[in-house]
């Protein structure tokens, strides 16, 4: 009996767990879901045959290794920093490894040993990274097969809200890790535009926007991801003059979020301590210059010249001009801001989220030049069965299923950019409504 071990049963693992649990009775497999919260893990498995929930403190090396030693494949749904620890255990114990997270430098350092042991390690097989790679490579390989040349590739993805759930001025609520949202974009982003290298520091990032449209959904703002340049090699487009990968937010979000960045409220590098009972207004005022004659609102307007009414409204809606009490008074500015947002940007049980992804290719062929746009829109069912969980978990679950069925026979360290991996996954995803729509138009 094939033994499958999932480490971590958080929000993004719902569809992954369901998919693999269903295969257990029909394909002679046994699924173990290990989580710190055994009760929550048990509820996710719903007493399905050939499944069990167990409690595991991932920091307990002895228990962790004992559990991994009994598995054939290990799926890590843990925080990203834990993946290399689990991967090293898998390497030592001769187990195959799967994750939806970025392939780290520590993971790449294991490449030779993974190959020499005949193991299969697959990373970046979720949404972004994951579905973005697979859908892009399908277009790239098809274009190359026709002798066409890709001269520009821009790709954008966002985890947002279905239109009916956009019930606040930001048109945003947390559909994944809040801390990652608050710290998004820190560092310097790198991309290339018509042969010119571009480096965007954090304090400029949310001003460097591209407008992206989806049929029937309106306008979105896209800002550059941290590193687009390395993907020229990953995608086999080493000489391409334009390569940009970005994140999508509703139009207007980035301008308002940039106010927090300019003030320093997303800084995670130092701790502050506000007096007990402090208000959101006092928290905001802590980042403004002293002026006895001006109000908090006036000081903010003076410090941020681009503070227009829609931006002011977003900040006001969060309560920053009110006497509402801070939910947390000690920690980094980013941690205090996150505590505020976790209240106001929490998904209601009936809320539906939405994933939007769009690839924009400029392609040259015998016919001249064309723009090929490939777009994905996926809606969640509710606040548990989210589009985020669906698009992160299903690709990984399908990959594991294909591997255990012997339909992926590769060995070594991979991301899903080879046809043997991405073609069957994309085909299966279509049966779950995760399907790209393509359109073409000539370019002069």
**3-class SS letters over the chain:** CEEEEEECCCHHHHHHHHHHHHHHHHCCEEEEEEECCHHHHHHHHCCCCCEEEEECCCCCHHHHHHHHHCCCEEEECCCHHHHHHHHHHHHHHCCEEEECCCCCHHHHCCHHHHHHCCCEEECCCEECCEHHHHHHHHHHHHHHHCCCEEEEEEEEEEEEECHHHCCCCCCCCCCCCHHHHHCCCCCEEEEEECCEEEEEEHHHHCCCCEEEEECCCEEEEEEECCECCCHHHHCCCCCCCEEEEEEEEECCHHHHHHHHHHHCCCCCCCCEECCCCCEHHHHHHCCCCCCCCCCHHHHHHHHCCCCCHHHHHHHHHCCCCCCCECCCCEECHHHHHHHHHHHHCCCCCCCCEEEEEEEEEEEEECCEEEEEEEEEEEECCCCCCCHHHHHHHHHHHHHHHHHHCCCCCCCEEECCCCHHHHHHHHHHHHCCCCCCEEEEEEEC
Rounded to an integer, the average pLDDT of 227-242 is 94
**Tens digits of residue pLDDT in 40-64:** 889 899 889 999 999 988 888 899 9
- The pLDDT of residue 398 is 97
Q: Is the model's pLDDT at 252 over the cut of 80?
A: yes
Q: Is the model's pLDDT at 14 over the cut of 80?
A: yes
d(CA 88, CA 206): 37
Other Cβ atoms within 10 Å of 375 Cβ, number = 20
Instruction: Tell me phi and psi for residue 140, to 5 degrees.
Output: -60, -45
Rounded to an integer, the average pLDDT of 263-287 is 96
175-181 long-range contacts (CB < 8 A, ≥24 apart) are 175/347, 175/353, 175/380, 175/386, 175/387, 175/388, 176/11, 176/12, 176/388, 178/338, 178/341, 178/342, 178/345, 179/334, 179/338, 181/341
In a domain, 301, yes or no: yes
Q: Is the model's pLDDT at 444 over the cut of 80?
A: no
**Of 44, 85, 100, the residue nearest 398 (C-alpha):** 100
d(CA 110, CA 114): 6
Q: Are residues 298 and 320 in the same domain?
A: yes
Which domain-ending residue is among 344, 376, 395?
A: 344
- The pLDDT of residue 228 is 94
- The pLDDT of residue 193 is 96
pLDDT tier, 320 (very low <50, low <70, confident <90, very high otherwise): very high
CATH of the domain at 207: 3.30.360.10
- The pLDDT of residue 11 is 80
Q: Are residues 135 and 110 in the same domain?
A: no
Answer whether 414's CB lies under 8 Å from 121's CB. Answer: yes
Rounded to an integer, the average pLDDT of 54-77 is 93
- The pLDDT of residue 9 is 87
Answer whether 274's CB lies under 8 Å from 326's CB. Answer: yes
d(CA 150, CA 139): 10
Segments forming the whole domain that contains residue 19: 2-123
- Tell me the pLDDT of the chain averaged across its residues: 94
Q: Is the model's pLDDT at 138 over the cut of 80?
A: yes
**Tens digits of residue pLDDT in 22-37:** 999 889 899 999 998 8
In a domain, 407, yes or no: no
CATH of the domain at 40: 3.40.50.720
Q: Are residues 211 and 286 in the same domain?
A: no
d(CA 371, CA 349): 40
In a domain, 398, yes or no: no
Rounded to an integer, the average pLDDT of 421-430 is 97
Which domain-ending residue is among 123, 142, 167?
A: 123
Q: Is the model's pLDDT at 282 over the cut of 80?
A: yes
In percent, how much of the chain has pLDDT > 70? 100
- The pLDDT of residue 34 is 94
Other Cβ atoms within 10 Å of 145 Cβ, number = 8
**Tens digits of residue pLDDT in 362-390:** 999 988 999 999 999 999 998 888 999 99
Q: Are residues 172 and 72 in the same domain?
A: no
Q: Are residues 162 and 217 in the same domain?
A: yes
**Tens digits of residue pLDDT in 178-207:** 999 999 999 999 999 999 999 999 999 999
Q: Are residues 356 and 236 in the same domain?
A: yes
In a domain, 417, yes or no: no
In a domain, 400, yes or no: no
d(CA 66, CA 371): 53
d(CA 254, CA 172): 11
In a domain, 412, yes or no: no
For the chain, the domain total comes to 3
- The pLDDT of residue 98 is 97
Q: Are strands 353-365 and 218-224 parallel, antiparallel or unpaired?
A: unpaired
Q: Are residues 244 and 261 in the same domain?
A: no
Which domain-ending residue is among 123, 157, 177?
A: 123
In a domain, 15, yes or no: yes
Calculate the alpha carbon distances from 58 to 30, 79, 150, 397 in Å: 21, 11, 44, 21
Q: Are residues 209 and 145 in the same domain?
A: yes
Rounded to an integer, the average pLDDT of 230-258 is 95
Q: Are residues 89 and 151 in the same domain?
A: no
Least confident range from 52-56, 69-73, 286-290, 354-358: namely: 52-56
Q: Are residues 338 and 372 in the same domain?
A: no
**Tens digits of residue pLDDT in 98-135:** 999 999 999 999 999 999 999 999 999 999 999 999 99
- The pLDDT of residue 443 is 86
pLDDT tier, 79 (very low <50, low <70, confident <90, very high otherwise): confident
Q: Tokens 């350092």 belong to which residue?
A: 109
Q: Are residues 293 and 234 in the same domain?
A: no
Q: Tokens 């989210």 belong to which residue?
A: 386
In a domain, 365, yes or no: yes
pLDDT tier, 12 (very low <50, low <70, confident <90, very high otherwise): confident
Q: Are residues 172 and 235 in the same domain?
A: yes
């Amino acid at each position: 009996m094939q033994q499958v071990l999932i480490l971590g049963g958080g929000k993004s693992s719902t569809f992954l767990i369901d998919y693999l649990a269903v295969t257990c009775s029909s394909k002679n497999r046994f699924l173990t879901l290990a989580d710190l919260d055994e009760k929550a893990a048990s509820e996710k498995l719903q007493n399905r045959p050939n499944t069990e929930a167990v409690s595991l403190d991932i920091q307990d090396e002895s228990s962790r290794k004992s559990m991994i030693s009994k598995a054939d494949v290990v799926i890590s749904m843990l925080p990203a920093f834990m993946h290399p620890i689990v991967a090293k255990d898998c390497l030592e114990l001769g187990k195959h490894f799967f994750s939806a997270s970025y392939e780290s430098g520590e993971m790449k350092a294991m490449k030779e040993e993974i190959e020499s042991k005949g193991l299969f390690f697959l990373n970046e097989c979720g949404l972004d990274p994951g579905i973005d790679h697979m859908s892009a490579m399908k277009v790239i390989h098809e274009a190359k097969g026709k002798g066409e040349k890709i001269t520009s590739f821009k790709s954008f993805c966002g985890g947002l809200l279905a239109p009916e759930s956009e019930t606040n001025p930001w048109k945003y609520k947390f559909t994944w890790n809040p801390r990652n949202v608050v710290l998004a974009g820190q560092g310097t982003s790198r991309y290339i535009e018509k042969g010119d290298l571009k480096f965007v520091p954090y304090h400029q990032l949310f001003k460097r926007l591209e407008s992206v449209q989806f049929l029937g959904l309106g306008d979105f703002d896209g800002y550059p991801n941290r590193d687009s340049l390395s993907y020229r090699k990953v995608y086999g487009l080493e000489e391409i003059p334009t390569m940009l990968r970005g994140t999508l937010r509703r139009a207007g979000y980035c301008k308002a979020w940039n106010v927090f960045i300019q003030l320093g409220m997303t800084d995670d590098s130092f701790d502050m301590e506000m007096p007990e009972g402090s208000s959101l207004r006092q928290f905001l005022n802590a980042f403004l210059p002293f002026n006895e004659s001006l109000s908090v609102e006036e000081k903010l307007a003076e410090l941020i010249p681009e503070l227009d009414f829609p931006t002011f409204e977003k900040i006001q809606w969060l309560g920053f001009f009110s006497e509402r009490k801070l939910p947390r008074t000690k920690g980094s500015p980013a941690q205090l801001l996150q505590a505020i947002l976790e209240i106001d940007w929490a998904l209601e049980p009936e809320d539906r989220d939405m994933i939007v992804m769009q690839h924009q290719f400029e392609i040259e062929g015998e016919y001249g030049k064309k723009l090929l746009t490939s777009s994905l829109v996926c809606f969640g069912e509710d606040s548990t069965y989210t589009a985020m969980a669906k698009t992160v978990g299903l690709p990984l679950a399908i990959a594991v299923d294909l591997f255990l069925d012997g339909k992926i026979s590769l060995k070594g360290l991979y991301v899903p950019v080879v046809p043997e991996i991405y073609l069957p996954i994309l085909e299966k995803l279509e049966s779950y409504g995760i399907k790209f729509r393509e359109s073409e138009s000539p370019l002069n």
